[in-house]
Amino acid sequence: MKRCRSTPRENWQQTVESQGMYYHTVDDIPYWDESVYYEFQPPEIDELEAATYALNDMCLKAVQYVIDKDYFNLFQIPEEYRQYIRNSWENDEHTIYGRFDFSYCTPSPPKLLEYNADTPTSLLEAAVIQWYWLKDVFPSSTQFNSIHERLIEAWQSVRSDSPGRMYFASVANSIEDYMTVNYLRDTAMQAGMDTAYITMKDIGWDSKRRVFTDLKEHTMEQCFKLYPWEWMHREDFGINFVENSCRWFEPPWKAILSNKAVLPILWELFPDSPYLLKASFDPLPGGDFVQKPIFSREGANIQIFENGKLFLNTDGPYDGPCVYQETYPLPRFDNQFFAAIGSWIVNGWACGIGIREDEHLITGNLSRFVPHIF
C-alpha cells in the first residue's frame, strides 16, 4: 500500500459534477482529492476481501446471538421495537449494503474500527467517481470496484420478491445524502424497478388506513431510507413501523449492526479473529483505549486515551452509553497523512473499497476521499 502523487485532471470539478458529485469541495478545500492516490498490491486486495467476508459472517452470527440472549438493552433499543426487529431477522429481510471501516497497517491484517451497516455514505465516490477517474488517468490499471454492478444485482433480487414501487428517502437539507440516495435509485432503475424520491419529512401516515403515504396519498409499500434506525425509534411517528407492512431498507435488524455496541459482542464471540480489536462495555485495563458513543457517526465524540489520560477527542452531538476499543492507529504516510479504508459489502459480495485520509488521527465527515488502483 503506497501513497502516490498525481496530477488532477483539467476541469476535474466539472467532470465529477457531471457524474453526480456536487459536494466535491467544502469551504474551498477539496473533499474529493485526485492529487494523490493509493496503490495496492493484489495480495493486499485479497486480504481486504477476505476480511470483509469473514466480518460479514461474524456480524450475522452476532445478530442471532443478540436476539437469542435478549441483549437489546445493551443497544439502547426501546422495548416496543424489539419484536419488530426479531420478526425482521426471522423473516430474513433483505439487506442491500454496508461498509466495514478498517485500519490496514500492512503486513498486519486489516483491523475493524467500526461497521457502517445502516446508512453508510461515500458510496457515489467509491462506486462511480473513482472508477471514472481510473479510466481517465490509469486506463491500463485496475481497481477493486464492482460496487455498481453488485447494487444492480441487489435490486434485481428485491424486484423479484417485491415488484412494486420503491421509494428512496433522505433528509431535505443534505446534498450529499440526496445524491447518495438518488445514485442508489438510479441503480434500482437500471434493475428495472419503478422508483420515486421523497424527503423523510414528507412521508405521511394515514391513521385510518394505517399505512405510510407519499405526497399524493399513495400507499408506500417499500422504501430505502438514508436515515438511521435509532433516530426513527425515537420519533413520534416511529411506533407506526411496528404495525405497518411497509418494507424498509436497510431492514430493521440492521439496527443491531449499525450500533457500536456490536463491537464488544463481536469480541466476546470471536476473540481469536485476526480482524477484530479488543472491545468492551467498560474501560480497558492499562488505560490505552478509544471511547466511542454507541450511536456516534462520522468520527464525532471520539475520545482517545493513553495511560488513562485523554490524548485526543472530537466534538459532536452524541452522548449516552459508550464502548471502549483497543487503540490501533491508522497507517501514516509521508509522516503526515492517516488513511482509513472503507470496504463495501453489497448483496453479500465484498466488492470494493474507498479511502479517506486526513492529517488528523480521527477520520471525520470532512476527511478527504482519495481514489486507488492496484
Cα distance between residue 314 and residue 189, in whole Å: 39
Q: Please state the φ and ψ torsions of residue 219, each to the nearest 5 degrees.
A: -70, 130
Residue with cell 430505502: 224
Strand, helix or coil for residue 14: helix
The pLDDT value given to residue 247: 95
The pLDDT value given to residue 50: 98
Half-sphere exposure in the Cβ direction for 288 (13 Å, CA): 7
The pLDDT value given to residue 334: 94
Contact 198, 169 (CB under 8 A): yes
DSSP 94: -
- Is the alpha carbon torsion for 124, 355, 55, 315 positive or negative? negative
Q: Please state the φ and ψ torsions of residue 251, each to the nearest 5 degrees.
A: -70, 160
Residue 326, burial from CB neighbour count under 10 angstroms (0-12, 13-18, 19+): middle
The pLDDT value given to residue 241: 87
Strand, helix or coil for residue 55: helix
Phi-psi map region of 63: left, alpha, beta (phi>0 left; psi -120 to 50 alpha) = alpha
* Ranges of H-type helices in 211-310: 229-233, 254-257, 262-269
Cα distance between residue 307 and residue 139, in whole Å: 49
The pLDDT value given to residue 244: 81
pLDDT means over runs of 10, the chain (374 residues): 97 97 93 98 98 98 98 97 97 97 96 96 97 98 98 97 94 95 98 98 94 96 97 91 90 98 98 98 95 94 95 93 96 96 98 97 94 97
